């Protein structure tokens, strides 16, 4: 089965759920060191078609005729664990089910009669929400610490020390040949150090190589991020927590700017200003660096040699082999297309409008990619200008591509009925649980949060645009 699309929330450890004394869950078989991404309840004899992978499957065994086959199919679907409710069908978890789970390595939880399946699901969502909050808080705190370190007298070493401390490992600035220029934390040795050097060679700045690479060796997590220079940020940590990649990416951006060679004073000031904006700084904080405008913000994505935009800010979090560049450019300097790259250019903006201009450039880049044009400029505001029929249809096709006809029709009906499960079920002629399952799968495939009104609005406009372009409208 293909790897499922994960929801936009961090998984939780099964042990964290078992630690909830109020639930009274008891593990009867299988390993405890597994992660749960969501919860699904099914009384189907074969739930395989309804599973996405990574879920805690809840059942009371209403149609449990063949425990061995049932467990085999659940494992084949990629479920993380099985929760079996005692009562009303069974007085105890069937021994044959326990034995089957033990043979297949599937964690089996006994759910006592006093604990409802919805109560278990609610506990999982609460644990996920707390984990997400902790992750965001940690990332934000570390970003501030890295930005402060970058302003110290010896900024490179300071950034590396903060990074090594926050990740609990070793952080180093190295050459493509593996020579350490500066480092913080306990240096790895032996095979682990050779593994780091191997990753460094993989990402050594080149048009044909990726910007990031990761590996695990002997329980140590390794990572390498290509910088300018050429230089590489190398990491070796005993664990990899959610948010570590984002933290390392911010450090890589700062180190790229701090170590850039032959950077003119004006270009360095613009790059530093852009970094401050990216890290959430107020526009007025950049006034000493920028002076008078106006400026345009450029977003560019592609491969090979970046376009000549002065000193750009390279984003190391792009896909393998692809770079994402942002830059501030004087408004009187012409920005033109560049081979192998797609560009989005904002409208000219003064100091107080730079944050808006950054958003304009990002949207212009999305429009250029959707229409397969090498460069797109921000157009005057207004819904009419934004909803060009051809461009909107192209964007809609790209956005809705992961959805088949059934999921697309279900999503459209559900959105048109303001998220009502019951009314959607009646309109589609299916059970309300089927609607829930389809909407959950659509959200997972699209990688979006359907509780967000902005997301719902964008999807609705995309669906209407797709209908209009195909000639079908209800």
CA distances from 250 to 38, 132, 146, 259, 267 (A): 29, 19, 8, 14, 19
Which range is most confident: 5-9, 146-150, 227-231, 305-309? Answer: 146-150
pLDDT value for 281: 56
Give the pLDDT of residue 393. 74
Tell whether 19 and 119 lie within a shared domain. yes
| pLDDT at position 428 | 85
Residue 288 lies in a domain: yes
Last residue of a domain, one of 350, 378, 406: 378
| Domain count for the chain | 4
Phi, psi (degrees; rounded to nearest 5) at 380: -55, 145
Structural domain includes residue 388: no
Q: Residue 338 to residues 103, 105, 409: CA-CA distances in angstroms?
A: 58, 53, 40
Choose the final residue of a domain: 314, 344, 378: 378
Instruction: For residues 225 and 317, state if they share a domain.
Output: no
Sheet holding 180-184, edge to edge: 180-184, 170-174, 231-237, 220-227, 212-217
The token pair at 28 is 């009867």
Residue 192 confidence (pLDDT): 84
Pairing of strands 180-184, 108-111: unpaired
Q: What is the pLDDT of residues 146-203, one digit of tens each?
A: 888 877 778 888 999 999 998 899 999 888 887 888 889 888 888 888 888 888 887 7
Q: Above 70 in pLDDT, residue 122?
A: yes
Same domain for 405 and 361: no
CATH number at residue 222: 3.30.450.30
Helix or strand holding residue 170 (H, E): strand 170-174
- How far apart CA 14 and CA 60 sit, in angstroms, is 20
Evaluate whether residue 73 is within a structural domain. yes
Q: CB-based burial of residue 228 (10 Å sphere; 0-12 exposed, 13-18 middle, 19+ buried)? A: middle
What does the pLDDT read at residue 318? 42
Last residue of a domain, one of 323, 344, 378: 378
In a domain, 387, yes or no: no
Asked whether residue 303 is assigned to any structural domain, the reply reads yes
Q: Return the CATH number at 429.
A: 1.10.10.2840
Residue whose C-alpha is closest to residue 41's, from 53, 58, 18: 58
**Structure confidence at residue 104 (pLDDT):** 96
Give me 412's structure tokens.
Answer: 């459209």
Q: Is residue 104 part of a domain?
A: yes
Q: Please report whether residue 50 resides in a domain.
A: yes
Residues 300 and 375: beta-carbon distance below 8 Å: no
Q: In terms of residue numbers, what domain contains 236?
A: 152-257
H or E segment and range at residue 73: helix 67-77
Query: Is 367 found in the same domain as 292?
Result: yes
In terms of DSSP H, where are the helices of 151-261? 155-167, 190-203, 244-259
Q: Tell me: the pLDDT tens digits for 297-342?
A: 888 888 766 677 754 554 444 444 467 777 778 888 888 888 888 9
Task: Identify the band that residue 268 occupies on the pLDDT scale cut at 50, 70 and 90.
Answer: low
pLDDT over 70 (residue 71): yes
Q: Are residues 89 and 30 in the same domain?
A: yes
Mean pLDDT for 259-282 is: 54
pTM to 2 decimals?
A: 0.51
Is 40 a domain residue?
A: yes
**Of 157, 188, 186, 183, the residue nearest 171 (C-alpha):** 183
Q: Record the tokens describing residue 289, joined without a space.
A: 């660096």
Together in a domain, 373 and 402: no
Residues 32, 107: one domain?
Answer: yes
Residues 110 and 22 placed together within one structural domain of the fold: yes
Mean pLDDT of 20-44: 93
Candidate from 15-24, 81-90, 216-225 with smallest mean pLDDT: 216-225
Query: Is 225 in the same domain as 326?
Result: no
Contacts with 422 (C-beta within 8 Å, 6 or more apart), sequence order = 432
Exposed, middle or buried: residue 447 (CB in 10 Å: 0-12, 13-18, 19+)?
exposed
Q: How confident is the model at residue 70 (pLDDT cuts 50, 70, 90)?
A: very high
- Average pLDDT of the chain is 81
Starting at the edge strand that comes first in sequence, how are the strands of the sheet with 81-85 ordered?
26-29, 108-111, 81-85, 55-59, 38-41
Query: Do residues 107 and 178 share a domain?
Result: no
Alpha helices of 372-446 — where are they, by DSSP H? 383-386, 389-400, 405-416, 421-428, 432-446
State whether 403 and 463 are in the same domain. yes
pLDDT of residue 130: 87
CA atoms of 412 and 396, how far apart (whole Å) = 13
Shared domain for 23 and 89, answered yes or no, is yes
Q: Assign residue 39 the CATH number of its domain.
A: 3.40.1390.20
Q: Please state, in angstroms and rounded to a whole number, the distance separating the CA atoms of residues 108 and 57.
A: 10
Decide the pairing of beta strands 26-29 and 108-111: antiparallel
């Amino acid at each position: 089965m293909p790897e499922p699309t994960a929801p936009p929330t961090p998984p939780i450890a099964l042990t964290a759920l078992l630690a909830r004394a109020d639930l009274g869950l008891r593990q009867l078989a299988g390993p405890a060191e597994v992660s749960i991404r969501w919860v699904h309840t099914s009384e189907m004899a074969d739930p395989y078609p309804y599973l996405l992978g990574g879920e805690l499957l809840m059942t009371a065994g209403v149609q449990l005729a063949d425990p061995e086959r049932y467990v085999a199919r659940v494992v084949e679907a990629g479920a993380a664990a099985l929760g079996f409710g005692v009562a009303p069908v069974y007085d105890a978890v069937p021994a044959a089910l326990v034995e089957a789970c033990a043979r297949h390595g599937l964690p089996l939880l006994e759910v006592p009669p006093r604990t409802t399946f919805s109560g278990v699901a609610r506990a999982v969502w609460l644990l996920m929400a707390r984990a997400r909050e902790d992750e965001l808080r940690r990332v934000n705190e570390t970003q501030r610490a890295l930005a402060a370190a970058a302003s110290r007298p010896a900024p490179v070493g300071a950034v590396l020390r903060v990074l090594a401390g926050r990740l609990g490992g070793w952080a180093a600035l190295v050459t493509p040949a593996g020579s350490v220029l500066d480092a913080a934390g306990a240096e790895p040795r032996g095979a682990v150090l050779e593994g780091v050097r191997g990753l460094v060679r993989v990402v050594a700045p080149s048009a044909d190589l990726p910007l990031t690479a990761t590996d695990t060796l002997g329980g140590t997590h390794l990572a390498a991020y290509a910088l300018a220079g050429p230089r590489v940020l190398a990491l070796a940590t005993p664990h990899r927590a959610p948010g570590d990649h984002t933290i390392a990416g911010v450090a890589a951006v700062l180190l790229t700017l701090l170590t850039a060679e032959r950077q003119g004073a004006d270009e360095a000031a613009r790059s530093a200003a852009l970094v401050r904006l990216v890290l959430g700084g107020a526009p007025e904080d950049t006034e000493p660096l920028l002076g008078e405008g106006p400026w345009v913000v450029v977003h560019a994505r592609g491969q090979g040699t970046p376009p000549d935009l002065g000193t750009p800010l390279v984003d190391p979090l792009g896909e393998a082999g692809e770079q994402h560049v942002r830059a501030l450019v004087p408004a009187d300097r012409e920005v033109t297309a560049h081979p192998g790259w797609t560009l989005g250019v904002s409208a000219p903006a003064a100091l107080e409008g730079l944050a808006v201009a950054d958003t304009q450039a990002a949207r212009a880049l999305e429009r250029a990619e959707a229409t397969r044009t090498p460069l797109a400029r921000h157009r005057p505001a207004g819904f009419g200008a934004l909803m060009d029929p051809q461009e909107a249809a192209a964007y809609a096709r790209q956005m809705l591509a992961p959805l088949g006809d059934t999921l697309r029709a279900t999503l459209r009906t559900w959105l048109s009925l303001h998220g009502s499960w019951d009314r959607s079920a009646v309109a589609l002629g299916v059970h309300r649980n089927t609607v829930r399952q389809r909407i959950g799968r659509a959200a997972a495939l699209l990688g979006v949060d359907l509780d967000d009104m902005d997301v719902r609005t964008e999807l609705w406009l995309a669906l209407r645009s797709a209908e209009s372009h195909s000639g079908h409208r209800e």
